[in-house]
Chains A and B, each alone.
Chain A
C-alpha cells in the first residue's frame, strides 16, 4: 500500500570537472598579462614642504630647452653626469640633486638625466619648478 519512490542515486557527474577547470584555467592564462610596467620611481615632495637646505648640500642641475646640461655651472654631456654625481656623493652623502628644467625641454632628456642620477645612486632628487618665461 505504501507508495514508495524508488531511491535513486542523484549525483552531479564529476567526471568533466577537470575539463571545466581546464577551460577556466586556459581563459585566465590568456587574460593575464604578466609583464608589468617598468619605469623610474620617484616620490614627489608634499606641497608646502619647502625647507631650507644648506648650500653645500645642494647640487644644481639645469637642463635648458636645447637639452644642454649645466651641472655646477659647467656644461657636461649626459653620459658623464653619473660619474660626476657619484664622486660628489662619495664626498658628501647628504647631497641633494636639484633638477631644474626649462618649459621647452624635451621629456626624453629629463628621463636620461634622471636615469643617470639613479645610476649614480642618488636617492635625494629634487625637482625644481621651471621659471615662467
Chain B
C-alpha cells in the first residue's frame, strides 16, 4: 500500500515559470500607470468627520487647497498671501486641466468666513467642482 502512494507522488508537477517575467511586467505597467508621484506636504489640518463620503474619482485632476485654523491658505504647496491671488492660480490650473477638481482640506476649527471667500474665488475662476475632504465617520 505504502509503495503505491510513493509511486503516485513521484509524478513531476511543476508550475511553469517561463511566463513569470511577462506577468511581472504586466503588474509593473499597471503600477507605473496608476502611480501619481507628486505629493504635497500641505498644512497640518484636522479634518472634520462625515458619513456620506465619496471617493475622489481620480488623483490626477486634483488640486488641493489647505486651510488651517490660523487661516493660512496653501494651494499645491504654494502659499497664498492674498485671497484674491487664488483666482489667478486656480484659473491657470484650470486652463491646463479642464477636468480639474478642487479638493478642500480645511481644518474643522476654521471659520466659514474664509471658506466662503474661497468659494467666491473659485466661482470667479470658474472652478466649480469641489470636494470637502473629510474623515469617514465610524458609526
Find out whether the CB atom of B119 lies under 8 angstroms from the CB atom of A38: no
A25 & B48 in contact (Cβ 8 Å cutoff): no
Interface size class of B (residues with CB under 8 A): 35 or more
Q: Which of A28, A103, A115 is the one whose CB lies under 8 Å from B35?
A: A28
Measured in the bound complex, the distance between the Cα atoms of B24 and A17 in whole Å is: 10
Cα distance, A107 to B31, chains bound together (Å): 37
What is the total number of residues of chain A having a CB less than 8 Å from a CB of chain B?
Answer: 42
Chain A contacts for B20, CB-based, 8 A:
18
B54 touches A25 (CB 8 A): no
Scan residues 49-95 of chain B and give those whose CB is less than 8 A from a CB of chain A: 49-56, 59, 62, 64
User: B100 in the interface, Cβ–Cβ < 8 Å?
Assistant: no
Inter-chain contact count A-B, CB under 8 Å? 143
A110 touches B115 (CB 8 A): yes
B132 contacts A42, C-beta separation under 8 Å: yes
Q: Could you tell me if B126 and A46 are in contact, using CB atoms closer than 8 angstroms?
A: yes
Interface pair A39/B54, CB less than 8 Å apart: yes
Whether the pair B109, A107 counts as a contact (CB closer than 8 A) is yes
Asked if residues B24 and A21 are in contact (CB atoms below 8 Å), the reply is yes
Give every chain A residue within 8 A of B135 (Cβ-Cβ): 38
Contact of A111 among B24, B35, B48 (CB under 8 A): B48
Partner of B116, one of A31, A47, A129: A129
In the bound assembly, the distance between CA atoms of A74 and B27 in angstroms comes to 58
Complex-state Cα separation, A50 to B49, whole angstroms: 31
18 further contact pairs, Cβ within 8 A, besides A31-B37, A111-B132: A25-B27, A32-B34, A33-B39, A37-B62, A37-B103, A38-B134, A39-B50, A41-B54, A44-B123, A44-B129, A46-B126, A101-B112, A103-B113, A106-B110, A107-B109, A107-B110, A112-B48, A119-B51
Residue pairs across A and B with Cβ atoms less than 8 A apart, 15 shown, are: A37-B59, A37-B103, A38-B135, A39-B53, A40-B134, A41-B54, A42-B131, A46-B123, A47-B123, A103-B116, A107-B107, A107-B112, A111-B48, A130-B113, A130-B116
